[in-house]
Structure 1
């Protein structure tokens, strides 16, 4: 599940492979871009904004465009050598960019758009401060969180309009480390600046690697405190880690009811007895 650090790492991998390269052939397998032709264009660079990836391109006439994609829950960009077998479900391929040295393949991408680079803000301008971006501003993130003081902090952290980049993993791990129930109202969160800065530190620690660890260990089965550990004992107190789902996967929450006392989900929840 891509979160801010995964998208950041992906943007850097694409940047290393494609920047300065001329696109020999481009394929768009979505109706909205079916007739787009980027052959002969040059890749200027690749950047991330929260969970959005921005691939910047230049036409032969030096007009600048951005290919925007959102990775959501299942998107990925992968880089291959020419002729190398693609690893992944080919029916989910949305974009293929061929250069002399690499082939970039976008799987399960969402919100694909090709727009003038000057119009990027139309696609990502609604986002809050990016935890991994030059625009990071903890005070502004907290100001946005406080606009809805009654909202559960778990939901508020997932709202990319408040701060960009957090998904289920960093939401669950940050709240555990701060000892906060996911259903604590924003108005009752002590030191919200410290909360968002902790999320940023956890995410920043995983830049440059694909493993997402928050415990300090990269060993299999030891990387997270509560995320996807429902039914297992808490690493701190031994209480069974619980899992609650509200509506869809984006609202799945993991927590330790002993280490994170406070409000519980509406209607309560039963502990999941098997590992997720």
Structure 2
């Protein structure tokens, strides 16, 4: 599932292309919204909230989308060949000089802008929120420590705690804090965890490449994420992977047995 920085960047690019422009074509190829016609509406802005994206129109309507595992928004010039197949198209927003295509967007909804909280009101502070403040940080810390015995990896992925962290940043934050993903929240400084999470997301928010090591060389961008069986970039111990969570919420957890003491699967 895309991380919050991926959704943030998509929102920024869509906002640059669409804000203040009127759609000459607006189709939603989704069973629930197939009859909706967004043509003629002016886009006021496009904004991300955690992993959610809202395309807002000047008449008080919003189009909500969520990438889930494989969704994406692409920007094209008229006549330019699309990079994904037509059968994956779920949304098509067109202005005179740009074509915005939403692929594999399983979650689409039209709703009044004033009612967006119905979808995102339960979320914790957005780590990439404009105007992030000490109050945001304090709230995020308070939410994180609410369940002190919870596994840190699971708590970081819980969007009700903080919004924007996915499996990549979960793995890297745990590594940089020096604890395994199965360590209890109470074993770390919660404020450090929140600050580190925001720092990593911010470092990658304005470009599609994601690095937590500061290196862009292929295979060296991440400390442990998706490095199972390969040497830890810090100590050389082979990185391990195991499932964390249950059912549909289970995700692979990556860790270095030497650099990250604490409970392991």
TM-score normalized with structure 1 length: 0.91
For 2:205 and 2:115, locate their aligned partners in 1 and report how far apart those are by CA, in whole Å. Answer: 28
Unaligned runs of 5+ in 1: 266-276
Aligned-residue offset at 1:89: 2.9
**Partner Cα separation in structure 2 for residue 249 and residue 113 of structure 1:** 23
Q: Give the Cα separation in 2 of the matches to 1:200 and 1:259.
A: 22
C-alpha distance in structure 2 between counterparts of 1:168 and 1:89, whole Å: 27
Question: Which of the residues 47, 56, 80 maps onto 1:84?
Answer: 80
| Aligned position for 2:7 | 7
Is the contact made by 1:155 and 1:251 (CA closer than 8 Å) also made in structure 2?
Answer: no
**Alignment check: 8 A CA contact 2:90 2:104 kept:** yes
Distance 2:250 2:202 in 1: 22
- Whether the 8 Å CA contact 1:181–1:260 is kept in 2: the answer is yes
The CA deviation at 1:232 is 0.3
Contact in 1 for aligned 2:220/2:233 (Cα 8 Å): no
Correspondence for 1:139 = 138
SS at match of 2:83: coil
Kindly report which structure 2 residues correspond to 1:244-259, keeping only aligned pairs within 5 A, or say none: 244-246=242-244, 247=247, 251-259=251-259
Residue aligning to 2:222 = 224
Per the normalisation by structure 2, the TM-score is 0.94
Cα-to-partner distance string for 1:207-240 (whole Å, 9 max, x where unaligned) = 2110000101111111110001101001111110
Q: 2:27·2:92 contact (CA, 8 Å) conserved in 1?
A: yes
- Structure-1 residue corresponding to 2:54: 54
Aligned pairs for 1:1-276 (under 5 A) are 1-58=1-58, 63-134=59-130, 136=132, 137-189=136-188, 191-246=189-244, 247=247, 251-265=251-265
Contact kept, 8 Å, 1:129 with 1:135, in 2: the verdict is no
Distance 1:215 1:131 in 2: 19
Distance 2:49 2:126 in 1: 7
User: 1:121-144 CA distances to partner (integer Å, 9 max, x unpaired)?
Assistant: 111111100000036412211211
Distance verdict in 2 for CA 1:194–1:251, change over 3 Å: same
SS in 2 for 1:73: coil
Distance change >3 Å, CA 250–CA 205, structure 1 → 2: farther
Aligned residues: 260
Which consecutive residues of structure 2, in runs of 5 or more, have no partner in the other structure?
none
Which segment is superposed worse, 84-93 or 199-208?
84-93
Residues 145 and 190 in structure 2, CA contact (< 8 A), matched pair in contact too: no
2: CA distance, partners of 1:37 / 1:54: 17
Q: Higher mean Cα deviation, 160-169 or 35-44?
A: 35-44
Please give the root-mean-square deviation of Cα atoms over the aligned residues, in Å: 1.4
